[in-house]
Structure 1
Amino acid sequence: MLRVNALAGTGKTTTAVFGAGAKVPKGMKVSDEQKAIIEEMRSYKAGSVAATAFNVSIVEELKGRMPLHCDVRTSNSFGNALIGVAHGVKRRQVSNKKNGDIFFKISDGKLSKGRQMEMFPIVVKYMDLCKCFLMKGDDPSDLDYLSDRFGIDKDMEIYQYVQDAMKVGNTMTDYIDFNDQIYLPWFYGMKVPTYDMVIVDEAQDLNRAKQWLALEMSKGGQLVIIGDPNQAIYGFSGADSESMDTVWSQMLDRDPASTTLPLTITRRCPKVVVELAKKYVPEFKYHKDAPDGLILHTPEKEFLDDLFIEEGSRMVLCRTNAPLMQLGFKLIAGRRRCFIMGKDIGAGLKTDISKTKENDLSRAVDKACDTLKEKYVRECDLRRGDPNKAEALLDRIQCIRMIYENLGVNPTISDYNNYIESMFKHSGGPNDIMLSTVHKAKGLEHEHVSIIQPSKLPLPLKKAKPFQVQQEKNLTYVAYTRTKHTLEFVKEEEQRIEK
């Protein structure tokens, strides 16, 4: 069994492909670190190989590079297939509305509409986390753990609805959500097919359910986990912030001779950026042929002028969406093509408006923002609130207001939705400016990366737990290591950026 600690841009995917049996192209040089990993993986002489990837786009990339005998899918795809086999359900409705649908069904007539709407996001959050952490939802001590870790309301009435809703949801195999795709196979003890070798990419971002699936799939065989603990940034959504250590301890229990090998030499980042990133990851190294690179500290006005003058693309990063949207409006007004990474973000902003049931956009915006503001105030509560959620809610309010104010005279809801469709995408043209939060940019790279509002990296959070503090540092490291040559810090007005 093998653990690969692969730092940013060190060729982890290429190394895994060769380790799985793909031929190294003639003339291609692999590093000594890569060679050790490839030899270790090939020594397993695996007949059947499975590889799990973080998302569908990475699956498609791997399918084109892995040997033909490798079964490449997302973890959710592997789990979803188990439900079909075990329950003979050929057509399953998959929707992340399932938890909410169940809650409203069991609470209608028992709670006032106001109390329903107050409890709805909290119950759904608990249910999502129960599935991520492989909890059946029937033990209050489990809910206490989730409450303490994620700063969610510890309310006995809410606990009861979580327990009742989980009980109903656990019986439904023809209507599932994405977390169910792995949770239900665990809940029902479904038989998991095994492979001679299982390769897990981005292992630092696994939740407990995905960890369980990887360990089950590799029973009797070899498990290879590849990831960078310094890039673990999804703890807020239910990922285990210490995922690689959690899985590694179980690998050692299974085979004390399990091996750890590093990938520390980045083929992406220039020398000056590696030296900067070493503040967070001291073992990070640059390739002997790496360019020197460039770090810029640019005043905001000069930065904006450059965007309009230069014709090529670049990546602009920020901790939150609202500043990116504000920049996007300026670029579009000046006829400079751009897009914001993340169709799911746009979909959420559309949902906020549609939930108001208003036909007039002005009233819908006021109503949506009032609702979000109530939630924001709750999350600012120093005793029970979650600083990450408070920040995200404020970001959404600012985005909704900004879109409305930039749509011109008497805009309609269709205008609002159409603008979001045109702005939020997964890709753009070769000369388009990409605007992205750091979370959305993970796995991406560019010759020129600009960071706006750099003082928010790392973001000082009130009442932050140790894992949240670490994840903010990880996010900063991820931001710095997206660049292949130039890293630009955009100076905020009347604020000095520390060099």
Structure 2
Amino acid sequence: MSRAADLPGTADLRLTVTFRCPQVAVDLAAEFTDDIKAAPGARHGEVVPGSEDERLTWLRPGDLVMARRNAPVVSLALKLASLGVPVEVLGHDLTKLLEGHVGRALAYPFALSEIEGRLSEYGMARLQEHYESGVRGKALRRQLREDADLLACIATVAGEVAWHAEQEGARGTAAGVMAVLGSLLGAKGRAVRLCTIHKAKGLEAERVAVLEAEEVMEAGRQDAQRGDRALAFVALTRTKDVLFLASAETSTPHPEGEGNHETD
């Protein structure tokens, strides 16, 4: 690479030049790395800020959606599916991860009003298990955050299952929860793809949405160990054109020109 750069008329291309990202995405990502630049002639691209609610009308098949945690991914997937938008949640290990928790927390049929109590009780049991296993300090806090994320996923899906069951005079079941999760995780054709940022490395799309974007970027700014810096960098560099930064605190008009950014 360096020898090629010495040839007359050859652009100075560093190893970290990106041929995927538009200039605006590179400008944002540069905050989280010491060495990145857009390829010569890269498109300018577009950054679209918006509220969490606007993502429902903005997203369409072919788009890629990311979040730091599983819960926002599963929640949005359910909302999109209810609107008739084809969705695919990436990462089949999520099903295996949730299956044991669902079976224990929702071991017998449940009503919508019982979900919070069941999951709270299970969460306390998990805390006791961690404590008895000798988990302490940062390791315990990290494990509790992971548990909270998984329980939030279960709560979202269980609520959907229980509501539909109650319309038919029945109760929700663990099997019903796993069936819904399986439908979201099943491989499909053209769909809105959703995943955690950890799963997004190597993925790309013309249009990309980052959920809870302010949280992702702020964590990257404050990260001394560079793990969250790397996540922020990955989140900002999956797009080939448009980057939607979804924030619960930001609300902007729906962009008039978004329909011009079609995917193949």
Per the normalisation by structure 2, the TM-score is 0.75
Correspondent of 1:345 among 88, 94, 105:
94
- Aligned mate of 2:32, from 262, 275, 280: 280
Structure 2 residue ranges without an equivalent (≥5): 6-13, 166-170, 253-264
Q: Is contact 2:106-2:118 (8 Å) kept?
A: no
Q: Give the structure 2 partner of residue 289 of structure 1.
A: 41
Q: Do residues 372 (structure 1) and 128 (structure 2) align? A: no
Q: What are the equivalent positions in structure 2 for 1:462-473 lying under 5 Å apart?
A: 466-467=224-225, 470-473=226-229
Checking the alignment, whether the CA contact within 8 Å between 1:449 and 1:482 is kept in structure 2 is yes
User: Which residue is equivalent to 1:420?
Assistant: 181
Give the 3 Å change call, closer, same or farther, for CA 364–452 of structure 1 in structure 2: closer
Structure 1 runs (4+) deviating above 6 angstroms are: none
Does residue 490 of the first structure (1) align with residue 239 of the second (2)? no
Counterpart residue number, 1:399: 153
Looking at structure 2, the residues matched to 34 and 264 of structure 1 have their Cα atoms a distance apart, in angstroms, of 16
Q: Which has the higher contact order (CA 8 A, sep 6+)?
A: 2
User: How far is 1:301 from its partner?
Assistant: 3.3
- Tell me the secondary structure at the aligned position of residue 194 of structure 2: strand
The match for 1:316 is 65
Is the CA contact (8 Å cut-off) linking 1:33 and 1:263 kept in structure 2?
no
How far residue 473 of structure 1 moved from its aligned partner, in angstroms, is 1.1
Taking a change above 3 Å as real, the CA distance of residues 352 and 454 of structure 1, as seen in their structure-2 partners, is same
The alpha-carbon distance between structure 1 residues 270 and 465, as it changes in their structure 2 partners (threshold 3 A), is closer
Give 3-state SS (helix, strand or coil) of 2:147's partner. Answer: helix
* Secondary structure of 1:278's aligned partner: helix
CA distance in structure 2 between the aligned counterparts of 1:459 and 1:375, rounded to whole angstroms: 29
Which residue type is aligned with residue 434 of structure 1?
Answer: R
Alignment coverage as a number of residue pairs: 231
Residues 373, 397 of structure 1: 8 Å contact kept = no
The 3 A distance-change label for structure 1 pair 465 and 272 is closer
Does structure 2 retain, via aligned residues, the 8 Å contact 1:356–1:364? no
Q: Give CA deviations for 1:372-429 in whole Å, capped at 9, x if unaligned.
A: 34445868xxx6243432221111111111111101222233222211111124x432
**Following the alignment from structure 2 to structure 1, what is the Cα–Cα distance between the partners of residues 223 and 80?**
38
Alignment partner of 2:142 out of 383, 388, 405: 388
Measured after TM superposition, the shift of residue 491 of structure 1 is: 2.6
1:24 corresponds in structure 2 to none
Q: Which residue of 2 aligns with 1:161?
A: none
Alignment TM-score, normalising by the size of structure 1: 0.42
Larger Rg: 1
Structure 1: distance between partners of 2:67 and 2:106 = 32
Partner of 2:195: 436
Shift of 1:348: 1.3
CA contact (8 A) 2:115 2:155 kept: no
Give the whole-Å Cα distance in 1 for the aligned partners of 2:223 and 2:236: 23
SS at 1:331 equivalent: helix
* Structure 1: gaps (5+ residues): 1-31, 37-261
SS across alignment from 1:279? helix
- Do structure 1's residue 451 and structure 2's residue 210 form an aligned pair? yes
1:271 to 20, 23, 41: 23
